[in-house]
Amino acid sequence: MKKLTIGSILKRKNGEPLVMITAYDALFARLLAPSADILLVGDSLNMSFGGNPDTLSITMEQMIYHTAAVCKGAPHTFVITDMPFGSYTDNATALANAIRVYRETPADAVKIEGGADKAELVRHLTANGIAVCGHIGLLPQAVRAEGGYKVKGKSEDEALSLIADARAIEAAGAFILVIEGVKADVAERVARSVSVPVIGIGAGNGVDGQVLVFSDMLGFYEPFVPKFVKQYLNGAAAVKEAAGRYAAEVRSRAFPDENYIY
């Protein structure tokens, strides 16, 4: 598949849905790239890969390490990397960290969580040559401040505020938006109110594409399966079964047999 550009991503507005999947390493990036339009190095890697309860403790160094690995595994796929919590507290810090992403990896864009309150910061990044993906609705980096993961868009006020967020981030120069954990009818209204593609996660089917965390989508992550996750593989069971057969064959000396020796 030909690598997408920002121009070709913008043309997918109201067209064939965009497929975004997270990836955290070269191994899975190589496997997922043939199916994905965009790979997202999400800070969710701090949970499924790092074993932490939320995304907040991941660092810039770790995001850069994983982004570089994903880009090596999928050199012909458009890659977006998450700016981690605390890496965009003000315009200068955000720009310095986004420049680090561009200098130290070949990633194509960065993702910033936040709505109208982040518009000025997004404008500063885009004015300085950084391609920005917005992220509105349920913001995983706000989990401690909000006391949990809260679905958004449950009232008309929240719906109007999400539409205002999307418009502000688009006006600031973002070329794409992720909308997370939002009532489906409201997410559709948000998608219709901007001209950049809106990619949903837990936001229904009225948007311009979908993103899922790969370890959720492949059934590897067992601690919690959100309602919006469809598992296309029972990865956890497959891994445990294969590892169990290997262990049994080692213990019984069935492995290695004559096919696997020099």
* Residue 82 touching ligand KIV (CB under 6 A): yes
In the annotation, is 120 catalytic?
Answer: no
Q: Which range binds ligand KIV by CB under 6 A, 38-46, 56-64, 143-151, 222-230?
A: 38-46
Q: Which range binds ligand KIV by CB under 6 A, 37-45, 150-158, 222-230, 250-258?
A: 37-45
Q: Which range binds ligand KIV by CB under 6 A, 39-47, 71-79, 148-156, 160-168?
A: 39-47
Cβ closer to ligand KIV: 150 or 255?
150
* Residue 22 touching ligand KIV (CB under 6 A): yes
CB of 38 to ligand KIV, least distance (A): 11
Residues in CB range of 262: below 8 A, 6 or more apart: none
Q: Which of 180, 222, 249, 258 is catalytic?
A: 180
Q: Which of residues 94-153 bind ligand KIV (CB under 6 A)?
A: none
Cβ closer to ligand KIV: 4 or 179?
179
Enumerate binding residues for ligand KIV (CB under 6 A): 22, 40, 42-44, 82, 178, 180, 201, 211, 213
Q: Which residues are annotated as catalytic?
A: 180
